[in-house]
Amino acid sequence: MLKKVLRRTFGAYNITVERCYVKKLLLTAVAASLIISAVPLAACSKKKTEPRSNYDLSVSYNAEDGTLAGEESFTFYNSCQNELTELKFNLYGNAFREGAKYKPVSESFKTRAYYAGESYGGLTISSVENCANWSVGGEDENILTVELNSPVYPGESVQVDIDYVLTAAKINHRTGITQNAVNLGNFYPVLCAYTEGGFAECPYYTCGDPFYSTCANYTVTLDMPEGYTAASSGEVKDSQTSGGRQKVTYSLENARDFAMVLSDKFTVKTESCNGVEIKYYCVDESNAGEGLKAAKESLEYFSQTFGGYAYPTYSVVETGFCYGGMEYPALSMIAEGQKTPDAVYTTVHETAHQWWYAMVGNDQINCGWQDEGLAEYSTLLFFENNPDYGYTRAAIVDSATRAYRAFFSVYNQLNGKVDTTMNRCLKDFSGEFEYTNIAYNKPLIMFDILRKSVGDEKFTGCLRDYFNAYCFKNAPAEGLIASFTACGKDLEGIFNSFIEGKILI
Ligand SMILES: [Zn+2]
């Protein structure tokens, strides 16, 4: 996600960066310009043949009442080391119900999100077939637990069928009816990532992106009123119209999520890049030219720098959204109404998430800095190598550093101490201001120091190694550190001093 809006609203926190208290200057001035060899790299083709779980989703949108009736036939492939007797699914759609423990947006973003006043939705499970029992619970009515008829052993599969109804609230958010479109992020029960501690349950924490899932294959059939256009994570396999309705079938492989955005007002512009179809959906076309160009150029740059893009399409969608933008596999939501430079910056940041979130995943609940920091630093690399956009490395690093110092100063004055550790659960952040500085600005500063330490070529080489090692997987923070230390220099100290909050910036 990009909370870029925050970058321009420090005034709301009564902060001016000029007044910030400088603890210690660690960063030296600008380094030499970066030259990265443009060698096209293959996407993680080897791992495409690995057996995966499969989502077969059939959903029907009713524009009259804003509901989505869904049938999910989920085939679980057990790639764990042990047998499982139950499956757990995150029900993110339930975060939008009245009385939810965790509000989907903080007070500061409430007005921007709830454009039509209070509005509620939810996700109701109607039935689960092919199981011994099922129940909805968790910390915030956010977990569907399905007890299996018999244990599923490693290497075996089991299918469960879930019927549900998603009611979309009127809200500019990941899931919701906006003024011009219907955002269908997290519109179905999604299997929780399985870790050593069991299934990782993800309450819809207000701060950050509370998502942690495993790559699977998708077939999605969307039934919607005729006249609507749908942006989607998937590639269109079939499309039929009858009786005032359209039915579109999509497929997507090796993806950790699937999202769609529907509208009866969309204009679509397309481009292509190395066989990938890039689509830009919008209502107001004023950012479309620059936005589509940035999507294409950044997709190409990241493919050449880190490794090939894995999906057949990439859709950038301008829609109602309370933050700057939001990433999904093969689809990015960009908040409509942004000025062109902001929409372009957001587009590049979200496109970088295709590498650092979509293809290489991580635990976004406890290590939000990992993909956000890499997305921010990749954005810097893109702009540095495409100077026509008007950004420089020095300016981006300087902006992050000043913002971070301002945060440190304010929190120090307020509390007498500042928690600057980076591996933290989303619920332990006091709000977006702290989260933005710890998960975006601080790791951006860290990656710049790492780059100065190993040199430009080795730096991008480390990121390529990281991409290759974890494509379509979830990478622990230690995996990222190992990819850098393998470059031949002991960089663990730098990582640890930042992660553990020991370094003074
Ligand atoms: Zn982001």
Q: For residue 237, report the distance from its CA to the centre of ligand 1, in Å.
A: 30
Residue 296: which of 284, 318, 313 has the closest Cα?
A: 313
Q: For residue 200, report the distance from its CA to the centre of ligand 1, in Å.
A: 21
Q: For residue 158, report the distance from its CA to the centre of ligand 1, in Å.
A: 34
Q: What is the pLDDT of residue 44?
A: 62
Q: Where among 155, 179, 214 does a domain terminate? A: 214
Q: Where among 165, 188, 214 does a domain terminate? A: 214
Q: For residue 327, report the distance from its CA to the centre of ligand 1, in Å.
A: 7
Q: For residue 130, report the distance from its CA to the centre of ligand 1, in Å.
A: 38
CA distance to 38, 294, 392, 399, per residue, from 388 (Å):
18, 11, 10, 19
Residues 13 and 8: their CA atoms lie apart, in Å, by: 11
Q: Are residues 75 and 161 in the same domain?
A: yes
Q: For residue 379, report the distance from its CA to the centre of ligand 1, in Å.
A: 10
Q: For residue 353, report the distance from its CA to the centre of ligand 1, in Å.
A: 7
Q: For residue 426, report the distance from its CA to the centre of ligand 1, in Å.
A: 14
Q: For residue 368, report the distance from its CA to the centre of ligand 1, in Å.
A: 9
Q: For residue 372, report the distance from its CA to the centre of ligand 1, in Å.
A: 5
Q: What is the CATH number of the domain that holds 426?
A: 1.10.390
**Residue 504 located in a structural domain:** no
**Residue 426 located in a structural domain:** yes
- Specify the number of domains making up the chain: 2
Q: What is the pLDDT of residue 41?
A: 55
Instruction: Give pTM, 2 decimals.
Output: 0.92
Q: For residue 157, report the distance from its CA to the centre of ligand 1, in Å.
A: 34
Q: Are residues 107 and 146 in the same domain?
A: yes
Q: What is the CATH number of the domain that holds 104?
A: 2.60.40
**Residue 347 located in a structural domain:** no
Residues 416 and 500: their CA atoms lie apart, in Å, by: 18
Are 200 and 192 within 8 A, CB to CB?
yes
Q: What is the pLDDT of residue 362?
A: 98
- Can you tell me which residue has the tokens 């950050």? 208
Q: Are residues 198 and 110 in the same domain?
A: yes
Mean pLDDT split into 10-residue runs, the chain, 505 residues: 49 27 25 35 62 97 98 97 97 98 95 97 98 98 98 98 98 98 98 94 96 98 98 98 98 98 98 96 98 98 97 98 97 98 98 98 98 98 98 98 97 95 96 96 98 96 97 97 88 96 93
Are 379 and 2 within 8 A, CB to CB?
no
Q: What is the pLDDT of residue 303?
A: 97
Q: For residue 444, report the distance from its CA to the centre of ligand 1, in Å.
A: 12
Q: Are residues 17 and 59 in the same domain?
A: no
Q: For residue 170, report the distance from its CA to the centre of ligand 1, in Å.
A: 24
Q: For residue 144, report the distance from its CA to the centre of ligand 1, in Å.
A: 27
Q: For residue 310, report the distance from its CA to the centre of ligand 1, in Å.
A: 19
**Residue 255 located in a structural domain:** no
Q: Are residues 11 and 142 in the same domain?
A: no
**Residue 167 located in a structural domain:** yes
Q: For residue 335, report the distance from its CA to the centre of ligand 1, in Å.
A: 13
Q: Are residues 27 and 58 in the same domain?
A: no
Look at the alpha carbons of 386, 388, 394, 400 in this order and tell me if their dihedral is positive or negative: negative
289 Cβ partners below 8 Å, 6+ apart? 269
**Residue 135 located in a structural domain:** yes
Q: Are residues 420 and 394 in the same domain?
A: yes
CA distance to 13, 29, 172, 286, 441, per residue, from 19 (Å):
13, 21, 34, 37, 18
Q: What is the pLDDT of residue 270?
A: 98
Q: For residue 457, report the distance from its CA to the centre of ligand 1, in Å.
A: 25
Q: Are residues 59 and 208 in the same domain?
A: yes
Q: Are residues 66 and 194 in the same domain?
A: yes
Q: Are residues 32 and 79 in the same domain?
A: no
**Residue 27 located in a structural domain:** yes
Q: Where among 192, 214, 236 does a domain terminate? A: 214
Q: For residue 255, report the distance from its CA to the centre of ligand 1, in Å.
A: 17
Residues 97 and 104: their CA atoms lie apart, in Å, by: 9
Q: For residue 375, report the distance from its CA to the centre of ligand 1, in Å.
A: 6
Question: Residue 487 is part of which domain span?
Answer: 4-41+370-499
Q: Are residues 85 and 28 in the same domain?
A: no
Angle at which helices 393-415 and 442-454 pack, to 10 degrees? 130
**Residue 18 located in a structural domain:** yes
Q: Are residues 456 and 479 in the same domain?
A: yes
Q: What is the pLDDT of residue 231?
A: 98
